[in-house]
Amino acid sequence: MPHEDRIERVGAKWQAQGAGEHYRGPRFGSQRARERDPAAVRALLRRCEGVTSVLDVPCGAGRLAQAVEDCGARWTGVDVSHAMLGSAPAHCSARRVQASLAALPFRAREFDAVVCCRFLHHLQDRAALERAAAELARVARRYVIASFWDSASLPALRVRLGLKRSEGPHGRAATSRAQIAESFARAGLRVVAFRAHARFLSQQTFVLLERVEP
pTM for this structure?
0.87
User: Phi then psi for 128, rounded to 5 degrees?
Assistant: -65, -40
Residues 72 and 48 sit within 8 Å (Cβ to Cβ): no
Q: Which residues of 32-46 are buried (b: 16+ CB within 10 A; e: fewer)?
A: eeeeebbebbbbbbe
Between 29 and 87, the more confident residue is: 87
The residue ranking higher by pLDDT, 128 or 34, is 128
Average pLDDT, the chain: 88
Closest by CA position to 14, among listed 56, 77, 59: 59
**Mean pLDDT of the 193-211 span:** 92
pLDDT at 129: 97
Quickly state the pLDDT bin for 94 (edges 50, 70, 90).
confident
How much is the average pLDDT of 68-87? 93
Band (pLDDT 50/70/90 cuts) for residue 58 is very high
CATH of domain 3-211: 3.40.50.150
Torsion of CA 47, 48, 49, 51, to 10 degrees: -130
Distance of CA 178 to the CA centre of its chain: 18
Is pLDDT larger for residue 141 or for residue 162? Answer: 141
Secondary structure E strands in 40-188: 53-56, 74-79, 95-98, 111-116, 140-149
Quick one: pLDDT band at residue 18, thresholds 50, 70, 90?
A: low
Give residue limits of the domains in the chain.
3-211
Confidence class of residue 26 from pLDDT cuts 50, 70 and 90? low
**Measured distance CA(142)–CA(212) in Å, rounded:** 8
What does the pLDDT average to over 96-123?
96
How confident is the model over 140-161, as pLDDT tens digits? 999 999 999 999 998 888 888 8
